């Protein structure tokens, strides 16, 4: 399928100011890059066991606690490896015997697979729904971890975070993969026990780090499993991560630039009005792109139920007469990048990040660019 890309030049007055629309790594604000460049000589290349870096980690932990309005006793933990490694960490240190997974796309499926492959756990219960929808949890006394995904990045579906009816954190923990949602979607932390993510999406930083807001019940679980005699590799051990996080450190060396850029974004949110402000930017971008698609003769929101349509990742189907891969390739040739659909979903669609760093005006400009390209192609 190596068709050549049609030579279409998008007029400069239609182009967005910033052409980065990828779902991760995603747009890093130029102001944050400039701040890194100017602070870099004192900060980059210095020990992560000394004050300047520990202070940066503490700004990140405190800033996130403020942003999420964490209830008393909740803490921010961090470690190396990103969200994918956190799934393995959770199989070692958070699932007691049996987990229940809501799977509705690529990312939510992967945690379920990790749990199923873990020899010392019982087979997980997997509740699956079609791409473009999300399943509902089924309360079950045999379950000690419910695994949710706040935003399924592969399909553009967001789900509300509510503890399964009749369950309590004393018996079952709610673990939420919030990798593409954290910082862009509203939620009530009290409905979650472990809200984990990596900072290359709404936090406009780079990958390789995991962060988690953990409840007192989750901390108790971590300590109980840690003391149970279960073999846990040290780099995946949450007791070790908790000890280090409380000292504003990580077990092994973190990427200092990643920590710095995440702090820039968290403080940008908090200085401007917090999560409500950040989520409102995403709401505005979502309104722009979905109303454009609804009105378009050739574009349709993939997620039919408006309530499930993500405000951080939009998936837009194109009419079969227009090849979405060609549209994305022409956009890329014009400096508007990463609008490609999630390949394994296999749909004729574009996927657009609506993260807070992305200017809603740029989302509006993107829709005009797509209209221009489609008009030229037909």
Ligand X SMILES: *Cc1c(COP(=O)(O)O)cnc(C)c1O
**Residues at the site binding ligand X, with contacts judged by CB under 6 A:** 24, 82-84, 107, 149, 153, 177, 179-180, 198, 207
The DSSP secondary structure of 164-207, one letter per residue, reads: PTT--TTT-EEEEE-TTTTTTS---GGG-SEEEE-TTSTT-S-S
Query: Which residue sits closest to ligand X, CB atoms considered?
Result: 82
- Minimum CB distance to ligand X smaller for 173 or for 198: 198
- Minimum CB distance to ligand X smaller for 326 or for 349: 349
In the complex, minimum distance from the CB of residue 77 to ligand X, in angstroms, rounded to a whole number: 15
d(CA 155, CA 157): 6
In the complex, minimum distance from the CB of residue 249 to ligand X, in angstroms, rounded to a whole number: 20
- Minimum CB distance to ligand X smaller for 84 or for 296: 84
- Minimum CB distance to ligand X smaller for 209 or for 369: 209
- Minimum CB distance to ligand X smaller for 23 or for 143: 23
Contacts of 148 (CB under 8 A, 6+ apart): 102, 137, 159, 161, 174, 175, 176, 177
In the complex, minimum distance from the CB of residue 198 to ligand X, in angstroms, rounded to a whole number: 3
Instruction: Look up residue 66 and give its two tokens.
Output: 């403020």
- Minimum CB distance to ligand X smaller for 80 or for 325: 80
In the complex, minimum distance from the CB of residue 366 to ligand X, in angstroms, rounded to a whole number: 20
In the complex, minimum distance from the CB of residue 12 to ligand X, in angstroms, rounded to a whole number: 32
In the complex, minimum distance from the CB of residue 208 to ligand X, in angstroms, rounded to a whole number: 7
- Minimum CB distance to ligand X smaller for 97 or for 344: 344
Q: Answer whether 316's CB lies under 8 Å from 349's CB.
A: yes
Instruction: Spell out the SS3 assignment of 2-55.
Output: CCCCCCCCCCHHHCCCCCECCCCCCCCCHHHHHHHHHHHHHHCCCCCCCHHHHH
In the complex, minimum distance from the CB of residue 180 to ligand X, in angstroms, rounded to a whole number: 4
Q: Answer whether 29's CB lies under 8 Å from 264's CB.
A: yes
- Strand locations in the chain (E): 75-80, 99-103, 125-128, 145-149, 151-152, 157-158, 173-177, 194-197, 209-214, 299-301, 313-318, 349-353
Q: Is 320 exposed, middle or buried (0-12, 13-18, 19+ CB in 10 A)?
A: exposed
In the complex, minimum distance from the CB of residue 175 to ligand X, in angstroms, rounded to a whole number: 12
End-to-end CA distance of the chain: 20
- Minimum CB distance to ligand X smaller for 107 or for 302: 107
């Amino acid at each position: 399928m190596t068709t050549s890309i049609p030579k279409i030049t998008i007029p400069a007055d239609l182009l967005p100011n910033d052409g980065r629309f990828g779902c991760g790594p995603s747009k890093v604000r130029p102001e944050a890059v400039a701040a890194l460049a100017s602070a870099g000589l004192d900060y980059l290349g210095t020990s992560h066991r000394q004050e300047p870096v520990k202070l940066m980690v503490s700004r990140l932990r405190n800033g996130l606690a403020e942003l999420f309005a964490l209830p008393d006793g909740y803490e921010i933990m961090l470690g190396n490896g990103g969200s994918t490694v956190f799934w393995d960490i959770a199989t070692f240190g958070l699932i007691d015997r049996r987990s229940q997974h809501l799977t509705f796309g690529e990312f939510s499926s992967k945690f379920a697979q990790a749990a199923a492959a873990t020899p010392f756990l019982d087979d997980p219960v997997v509740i699956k729904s079609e791409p473009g929808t999300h399943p509902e949890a089924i309360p079950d006394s045999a379950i000690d971890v419910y695994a949710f995904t706040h935003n399924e990045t592969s399909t553009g579906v967001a789900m509300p975070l509510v503890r399964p009816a009749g369950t309590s954190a004393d018996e079952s923990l709610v673990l939420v993969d919030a990798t593409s949602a954290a910082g862009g979607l509203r939620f009530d932390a009290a409905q979650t026990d472990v809200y984990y993510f990596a900072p290359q999406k709404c936090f406009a930083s780079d990958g390789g780090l995991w962060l988690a807001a953990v409840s007192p019940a989750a901390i108790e679980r971590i300590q109980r499993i840690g003391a149970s005699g279960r073999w846990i590799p040290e780099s995946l051990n949450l007791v070790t991560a908790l000890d280090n996080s409380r000292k504003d450190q990580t077990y092994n060396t973190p990427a200092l630039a990643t920590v710095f850029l995440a702090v820039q974004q968290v403080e940008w949110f908090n200085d401007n009005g917090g999560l409500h402000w950040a989520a409102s930017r995403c709401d505005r971008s979502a309104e722009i792109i979905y109303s454009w698609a609804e009105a378009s003769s050739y574009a349709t929101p993939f997620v039919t139920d408006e309530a499930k349509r993500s405000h951080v990742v939009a998936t837009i189907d194109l009419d079969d007469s227009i090849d979405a891969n060609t549209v994305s390739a022409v956009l890329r040739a014009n400096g508007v990048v990463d609008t490609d659909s999630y390949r394994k979903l296999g749909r004729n669609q574009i996927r657009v990040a609506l993260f807070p760093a992305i200017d809603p005006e740029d989302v509006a400009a993107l829709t005009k660019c797509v209209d221009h390209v489609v008009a030229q192609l037909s």
